[in-house]
Structure 1
Amino acid sequence: MNARLIFTLIKQKNILRDANTTADDVIANNHSTKLFILLPCQVVSVICSLFVGINIIKRPAKFIKPIRNHFIIPLLITSFVQVTTELSMVENYLHIGVVLPSTNSYCLFFNWYTFSLNGINLFVMCWTSIERHIIIFSQSVFQIRWKRIAFHYVPLSIAILYTPTWYVAVIFIYNCVNDWNYYELLCTAPCFYENRILGIVDWLTNTIIPTVLIAVANIFLLIRVIYRSTGIRHNAERTKRNKKMTIQLLAISSLFLVFRLPIAVTGLMQQLFDVTFIIDIQFNIFSYLIYFIQLLLPFVCLISLPELKKTIGKTIRRWIRRNAISDVRTLHVASIMPAMNQ
């Protein structure tokens, strides 16, 4: 994506909007529609996050101890934080129509917070897609302590810390003057995008490359698992476990690909062919689609954790059984009451 072109087009759109009352009405209607969609999804997502989180915390040996599930913890935490805080900031903007408080420091924080949270989940998912090859096909690596630290905990920590550090550098430390528009989401783009090199590096490094790596790593993983399952017949249990881990990863990574590929592909088109007709679609639709990754993530995690599904199933069956016994007792008491009254 041509960062300087985007920055210029945003400013041009703002000037036209300020001079056109009809455009303001259209924008207000769009804001109401987005708020109407996002708000109920937020409530349901928070409930599901709490439900999944409480069940994971209550049974750490099942859900937290296995190394294959470690990536789910930062994903769920980041998702919960973003849905409860950053998405609320976005909904406040959609409701009022202006970023409040309208200050330079808040706009800087808003940009850094949004980019950092999106980046954490993207890079955690990227590394997990690569690491799953090691877990399935070279599991003995993680049985050695220093290798477990070097090839699991260190990359996972880097995936979590990289984007917040990068955006501190380009948003807070990089020397440029921000020209904020408080009537745009995130107060428009931060000024480092005016530097063409920085803009392209950010777009490639923090959007395109990790998204492509997720897709490529998952495709190759699926091919390897299918090939291995057809070649090994003597270890059915291991083959079954590998398929479960692959399905778990594919379910979660597909969520990232479905909602991130549109903005990545259109950005690539703009970079290669310098097209501008999809700029409004990017800012008005694709930029909001990313929030559905965080909104739907708890549900996908719930579905992709077989142990959690079994636990929930047992809880539901126990609850139904308890209610059924209670109903039988009530009916029994009701049936003998007339006899006692005689």
Structure 2
Amino acid sequence: MSTSNTSLTIISTGLPLDGIAIPLIGRFWLFLISNVLSLACGFFLFFHLVFDATLRHGLHNHVIIAVLGLCLFHELTVIPWEIHFLRVGVVPIKSPTICMIFKFIDTVVYTSMAKLVGWASVERHILIFHNKWIATKMQRILIHYIPLILIIMYGIILYGVTTPMNDCGRSFNYNSKLCAYYSCVYDSAGYSLYEFMSGGVLSSICIGFGSAFLVIRIVIQKRRLQQQVHWRRYRKMTIQLLSVTSIFFIIYLPPVLLAISQKLGVPSSVGSSYTTYASFFSNYVILLFPFTCLGTLPQLRTRVKTIFRFFHRQQQHRVVPLTVTVKPIRQSRV
């Protein structure tokens, strides 16, 4: 089917040929409302984490700030691109270079998020049980800051090199999300396996086992030492991690487990429809991330009340123009 015929089919039926029984207009409103709410929540959370000195200096908040920044960048670039496509059935700019750029951003943000959350699941063990490892400034640089920077730079460098590789002449479909483009490097089975293992599998192991073992270690430590003070001190870090990893357990991990089972011999037809819908809703890892962090913000209710009081006072102190009536002065007769 030609591109023009595909475009006419999408416009007339409202259903692209991707196997998802949700019309384009329904997807448009779903993503638009979700993106607006997520941006509002994300900016509110990012503002408090960055401009509050106590929260900004907390080591356990640095990964959250980094992931939140990636989410906001994705929601301001890639999501509007996809919303436009869902509205009209064609990408906003028909350019191979622009398609590659947005594909690069989408891949870097999604894969870096998983790696950062996986690292956070491991780092929580250091922050809670081995805090002597980060007692000095040099130790914090080596153990805390460098891994954080390397994870982000790894995604930028890797996909900055591989995304433009189109030596096989892969075509761009402007009637598909992100132009249906992916690099020709994925034609290599070796590279595809490497990225799947280093990205999906390793991140899933760190998120799953890291968060589960953290809860087990804390429960055992609490029962053995009966240290209520220490539990209250580390409870916020644990709840923050579990809140963040919850969306990865629901949205990110099941497709990875299904892909692992298929590589081990399960027929590819098994779970094919689930894979289609999982790919469509994968953006909700990004859209829901600010909400999972919002509940862990300390004194959230107080901060929200302060904002509402500020706007209420602004309305009360608003200067309202008054209409003054001046009566003419009657001159007396001389």
Q: Are 1:225 and 2:218 an aligned pair?
A: yes
* 1:207-253 deviations in Å (ceiling 9; x for gaps): 222122211100111100110011112x3221211222111111111
Q: Does the Cα contact within 8 Å between 1:107 and 1:187 map onto a contact in 2?
A: yes
Please give the TM-score of this superposition, normalised by the length of structure 2: 0.82
Q: Are 1:244 and 2:236 an aligned pair?
A: yes
Q: Are 1:58 and 2:51 an aligned pair?
A: yes
Cα RMSD after superposing both structures: 2.9
Determine the structure 1 residue equivalent to 2:137: 145
| Structure with the greater alpha carbon radius of gyration | 2
Q: Distance in 2 between matches of 1:301 and 1:153?
A: 21
Q: Distance in 2 between matches of 1:121 and 1:19?
A: 33
Q: Which has the higher helix share?
A: 1
Counterpart among 44, 63, 75 of residue 37 in structure 2: 44
Q: Distance in 2 between matches of 1:39 and 1:19?
A: 22
1:188 Cα shift?
1.9
Q: Are 1:83 and 2:71 an aligned pair?
A: no
What are the within-5 Å matches in structure 2 for residues 175-254 of structure 1?
A: 175-190=167-182, 191-233=184-226, 235-254=227-246
1:189 Cα shift?
4.1
Q: Does the Cα contact within 8 Å between 1:215 and 1:257 map onto a contact in 2?
A: yes
Letter matched to residue 52 of structure 1: L
Determine the structure 2 residue equivalent to 1:73: 65
Determine the structure 1 residue equivalent to 2:306: 315
Letter matched to residue 49 of structure 1: G
* 1:107-162 deviations in Å (ceiling 9; x for gaps): 21122111001122111111111000000001111112221111100101111111
Q: Does the Cα contact within 8 Å between 1:270 and 1:276 map onto a contact in 2?
A: no
Q: Distance in 2 between matches of 1:21 and 1:317?
A: 48
Unpaired segments ≥5 residues, structure 1: 1-12, 327-342
Question: CA distance change for structure 1 residues 251 and 14 in 2, over 3 Å: closer, same or farther?
Answer: farther
Please give the TM-score of this superposition, normalised by the length of structure 1: 0.81
Determine the structure 2 residue equivalent to 1:110: 102
Q: Distance in 2 between matches of 1:82 and 1:310?
A: 28
Question: CA distance change for structure 1 residues 245 and 299 in 2, over 3 Å: closer, same or farther?
Answer: same
Give the number of the structure with larger relative contact order, counting CA–CA contacts within 8 Å between residues 6 or more apart. 1
Identity of aligned residues (%): 25
Q: Distance in 2 between matches of 1:318 and 1:91?
A: 35
Q: Distance in 2 between matches of 1:174 and 1:133?
A: 42
How many pairs does the alignment contain?
307
